[in-house]
């Protein structure tokens, strides 16, 4: 196997050498432009370089048309002055007519026009559909009727101002469309221009409308700790589906993402799919309503549960962004658009390829010290690891999870000379250094809590429910925000740290903020998250070289809001390589594989006591951004040799895996088999992983039909691990690989194969 890996590695590093993970090569955008020059661009990736966004207003018809990539989105002002959705889907021809908006008449006395008209954004006042905004005025009035007032189109942003029919309250709706993917970003700002305070009780970012169809399928992602990213899929029926977190943060119970497909038998890569994701890391809600006519409305933003935002005269409340996209290429195409959008338009730029990291958590737990970490660092470096991360246990009186959170000084027994000797050692070994923190939490057994018991979320005189022996600091409080920013800034200023693993290990219990004026106490849901984002933004501005991972006991804080401030996420504490196939599969429906850290850990794995080979564990983790979390002190020389080869093989293909187009060939869910394929952005290579759970009755592994290749180009196949069937060819056209396919010869239990295809020059 060694020679096969080296051969592919050499070929791939030749073309990749300008785009190293350390970011010292060409910027990715420049590389992309260079890569497009003189090449036939593969059909699989949105063509960033050529695309542009277009936003137009047709004054005669009073319609707005937003267009980019393969998407048109059209809305109009109807005769009532309501803003009405007219079309969202595959890009229309410029000459295609878009008739002016016409409010529905209402089908019966029970179905008033205001509920029947597919509105873009609607205030509450007798509505039976989910309103976008609900306000209580000081006189008890709760009626809000929004009408179009004006609009502007500037800097690729459409702003539409709506105003209540009698009160001086306006809502500004913001629309942007991404040039490369056609993904829209929508949000709303509510302004109180009256001279009295009012209370916003519900504020959604947007409503997405889809026309009548009786064959819509809904997908969304659910989970729990160590069992995140389960894909739910089923037909939509009249009624309402509510996806929600009331936990104070994003949550792993449901992720703020959905996809709706038209058609009864959805296929991965064909069909019409509309999808959306909220950019918010606090409590949220997405409602999917289907009416009796089978029309669909999707509304999303802050959850209205326990929500009240006080707007004094002159104050505003802005909602999070609700992103929405369309793909004619099935759910696979929808995922690929989102992946591209996240990597190019959401995460901090320039986004570098993820380094291979080592993390100490599963090896040492809380029992970290200078000598032990240095020994692990030496072993990690010998494998080709690029980043060494010390996890929990280095600070305060942290011996286990009962104490220390909140006291962010280096533990003097474990590190008598501070972190410097360890960091120097890690650097001398050629790696950069990362550290675990959990900034928003405090153990009652800590100096911080003893000094500031009023800094946690709580209701006066009520119990303070602990989770993992910790309480949540109320980040909405200015002094708490200042403390958290202050210790992180000091840590990063005094130590040469390249990476923070930012953890968040519990949900809220008693969300009280007794120190705030009564009418502002429920604003904690919004202000907490805004301050979190503010701290992250300030830290990044002051320490631009520091990268951050969002972790929440696994994948409980992954969303398009936090992703604007972090470079990667930890999808699950479950590192069982077989469970991971399903977890990672679900993750990629909404998030890019390159954002997903995946560690190789020990066998048998603590989660299921399942034993697997080191090669299988590596191949499972190589589907995302590779990390190693095993106890290297227990590894044999053979393990080191295998790992070294796998790390080298991964580095040779990581750009294709992390930034390429993912095709889910065989789902691991409830299946004996699984397979994924990633195609490089410029189409020069593809990487395939195949996994077998258990052979049964001598059944062969199903033929693998590849996707996303250039039909006419010639590709050579390089087997890196596992086995192909006898007589397998090594050179053939894209059409051959996609239509004849590849026969993988896997037999036994927990077996895996890995091969690459390289496009030959014409």
Residues tagged active-site: 503, 573
Size, binding site for ligand GLA by CB under 6 A: 11
Could you tell me which residues are beta bridge partners of residue 294? none
Q: Least separation, in Å, of the C-beta of 575 and ligand GLA?
A: 9
Of the residues 132, 391, 559, 655, which one makes contact with ligand GLA according to CB under 6 A = 391
Answer yes or no: are the C-beta atoms of 707 and 676 closer than 8 Å: no
Of the residues 271, 279, 554, 571, which one makes contact with ligand GLA according to CB under 6 A = 554
The radius of gyration computed from the CA coordinates of the chain, to the nearest angstrom, equals: 27
403 binds ligand GLA (CB under 6 A): no
Q: Least separation, in Å, of the C-beta of 392 and ligand GLA?
A: 4
Of the residues 177, 198, 532, 551, which one makes contact with ligand GLA according to CB under 6 A = 551
Cα 140 to chain centroid distance, Å, stands at 41
Question: Of all residues in the chain, what percent are helix, strand and coil, respectively (each to 5)?
Answer: 25, 30, 45
Sheet holding 54-58, edge to edge: 54-58, 63-68, 71-77, 83-90
Give the start-end residues of each E strand in 496-588: 499-502, 547-550, 568-569
Nearer to ligand GLA (CB atom), residue 204 or residue 395: 395
**231-240 CB contacts, 8 Å cutoff, 24+ apart:** 231/585, 231/586, 231/589, 231/669, 233/266, 235/264, 236/260, 236/288, 236/290, 236/296, 237/290, 238/290, 238/291, 238/292, 238/294, 239/289, 239/290, 240/130, 240/287, 240/288, 240/289, 240/290
- Interaction mask 564-603, ligand GLA, x per CB under 6 A: ------x--x------------------------------
Answer yes or no: are the C-beta atoms of 216 and 261 closer than 8 Å: yes
322 SS3 class: strand
Cα 669 to chain centroid distance, Å, stands at 20
Nearer to ligand GLA (CB atom), residue 576 or residue 682: 576
Q: Least separation, in Å, of the C-beta of 355 and ligand GLA?
A: 18
To the nearest 10°, report the CA torsion of 647, 649, 653, 655: 20
Q: Least separation, in Å, of the C-beta of 125 and ligand GLA?
A: 45
115 binds ligand GLA (CB under 6 A): no
Three-state SS annotation for 745-760: CCCCEEEEEEEEEEEC
Q: Least separation, in Å, of the C-beta of 497 and ligand GLA?
A: 16
Nearer to ligand GLA (CB atom), residue 551 or residue 674: 551
361 binds ligand GLA (CB under 6 A): yes
392 binds ligand GLA (CB under 6 A): yes
Nearer to ligand GLA (CB atom), residue 132 or residue 438: 438
Cβ count near 244 (within 10 Å): 18
Question: Using CA atoms, how far apart are residues 62 and 75, in angstroms rounded to an integer?
Answer: 9
553 binds ligand GLA (CB under 6 A): yes
- Interaction mask 8-47, ligand GLA, x per CB under 6 A: ----------------------------------------
Nearer to ligand GLA (CB atom), residue 324 or residue 439: 439
Q: Least separation, in Å, of the C-beta of 556 and ligand GLA?
A: 9
Which region among 20-28, 80-88, 160-168, 546-554 touches ligand GLA (by CB under 6 A)? 546-554
Q: Least separation, in Å, of the C-beta of 506 and ligand GLA?
A: 10
142 SS3 class: coil
503 binds ligand GLA (CB under 6 A): yes
Nearer to ligand GLA (CB atom), residue 551 or residue 628: 551
Residues lying near ligand GLA in the complex (CB under 6 A) are found at 361, 391-392, 436, 503, 505, 551, 553-554, 570, 573
């Amino acid at each position: 196997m060694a020679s096969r890996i080296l051969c592919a590695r050499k070929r791939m590093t030749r073309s990749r050498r300008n785009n190293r993970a350390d970011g010292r090569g060409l910027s990715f955008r420049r590389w992309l432009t260079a890569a497009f020059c003189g090449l036939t661009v593969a059909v699989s990736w949105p063509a960033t370089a050529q695309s542009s966004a277009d936003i137009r207003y047709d004054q005669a018809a009073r319609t707005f048309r937003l267009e980019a990539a393969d998407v048109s989105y059209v809305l109009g002002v109807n005769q009532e002055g309501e803003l009405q959705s007219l079309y969202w889907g595959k890009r229309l021809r410029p000459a295609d007519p878009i008739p002016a908006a016409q409010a529905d008449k209402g089908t019966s006395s029970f179905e008033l026009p205001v509920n029947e008209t597919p509105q873009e954004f609607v205030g509450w006042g007798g509505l039976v559909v989910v309103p976008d905004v609900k306000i209580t005025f000081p006189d008890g009035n709760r009626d809000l009727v929004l009408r179009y007032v004006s609009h502007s189109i500037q800097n690729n942003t459409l702003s539409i101002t709506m105003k209540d029919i009698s009160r001086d309250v306006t809502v500004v709706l913001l629309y942007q469309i991404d040039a490369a993917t056609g993904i829209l970003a929508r949000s709303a700002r509510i302004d109180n221009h009256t001279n009295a305070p009012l209370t916003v009780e519900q504020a959604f970012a947007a409503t997405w409308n889809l026309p009548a169809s009786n064959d819509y399928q809904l997908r969304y992602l659910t989970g729990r700790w160590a069992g995140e990213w389960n894909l739910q899929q089923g037909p939509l029926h009249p009624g309402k589906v509510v996806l929600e977190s009331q936990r104070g943060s994003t949550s792993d119970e449901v992720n703020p993402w959905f996809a709706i497909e038209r058609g009864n038998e959805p296929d991965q890569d064909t069909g019409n799919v509309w999808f959306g994701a909220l950019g918010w890391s606090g409590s949220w809600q997405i409602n999917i309503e289907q009416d009796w006519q089978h029309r669909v409305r999707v509304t999303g933003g802050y959850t209205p549960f326990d929500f009240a935002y006080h707007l004094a005269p002159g104050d505003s409340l802005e909602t999070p962004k609700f992103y929405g996209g369309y793909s004619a290429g099935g759910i696979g195409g929808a995922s690929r658009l989102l992946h591209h959008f996240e990597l190019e338009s959401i995460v901090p730029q320039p986004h570098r390829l993820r380094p291979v990291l080592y993390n100490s958590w599963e090896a040492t737990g809380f029992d970290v010290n200078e000598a032990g970490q240095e020994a692990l660092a030496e072993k990690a470096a010998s494998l080709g690891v690029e980043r060494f991360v010390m996890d929990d246990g280095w600070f305060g009186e942290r011996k286990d999870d009962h104490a220390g959170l909140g006291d962010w000084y280096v533990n003097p027994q474990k590190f008598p000379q501070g972190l410097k000797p360890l960091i120097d050692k890690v650097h001398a070994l050629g790696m950069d250094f990362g550290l675990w923190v959990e900034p928003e939490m405090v153990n009652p057994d800590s100096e911080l809590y003893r000094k500031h018991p009023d800094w946690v979320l709580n209701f006066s005189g009520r119990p303070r429910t602990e989770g993992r022996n910790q309480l949540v600091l109320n980040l909405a409080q200015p002094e708490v925000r200042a403390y958290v920013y202050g210790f992180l800034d000091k840590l990063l200023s005094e130590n040469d740290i390249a990476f923070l693993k930012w953890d968040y290990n519990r949900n809220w219990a008693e969300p009280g903020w007794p120190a705030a004026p009564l009418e502002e106490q429920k604003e904690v849901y919004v202000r907490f998250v805004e301050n979190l984002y503010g701290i992250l933004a300030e830290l990044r501005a002051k320490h631009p070289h520091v990268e951050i991972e969002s972790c929440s006991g696994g994948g409980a804080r992954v969303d398009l809001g936090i992703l604007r401030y972090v470079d990667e996420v930890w999808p699950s504490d479950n590192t069982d390589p077989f469970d991971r196939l399903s977890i990672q599969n679900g993750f990629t429906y909404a998030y890019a594989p390159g954002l997903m850290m995946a560690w190789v850990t020990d066998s048998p794995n603590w989660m299921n006591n399942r034993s697997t080979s080191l090669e299988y564990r590596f191949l499972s983790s190589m589907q995302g951004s590779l990390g190693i979390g095993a106890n290297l002190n227990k590894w044999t020389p053979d393990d080191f040799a295998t790992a070294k080869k796998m790390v080298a093989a991964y580095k040779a293909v990581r750009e294709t895996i992390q930034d390429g187009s993912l095709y889910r060939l065989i789902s691991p869910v409830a299946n004996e088999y699984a397979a994924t394929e990633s195609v490089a952005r410029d189409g020069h290579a593809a990487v395939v992983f195949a996994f077998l759970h258990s052979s049964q009755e001598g059944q062969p592994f199903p033929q693998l039909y590849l996707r996303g290749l250039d039909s006419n180009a010639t590709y050579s196949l390089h087997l890196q691990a596992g086995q192909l069937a006898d007589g397998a060819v090594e050179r053939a056209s894209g059409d051959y690989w996609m239509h004849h396919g590849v026969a993988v010869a896997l037999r036994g239990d927990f077996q895996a194969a890995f091969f690459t295809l390289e496009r030959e020059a014409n």
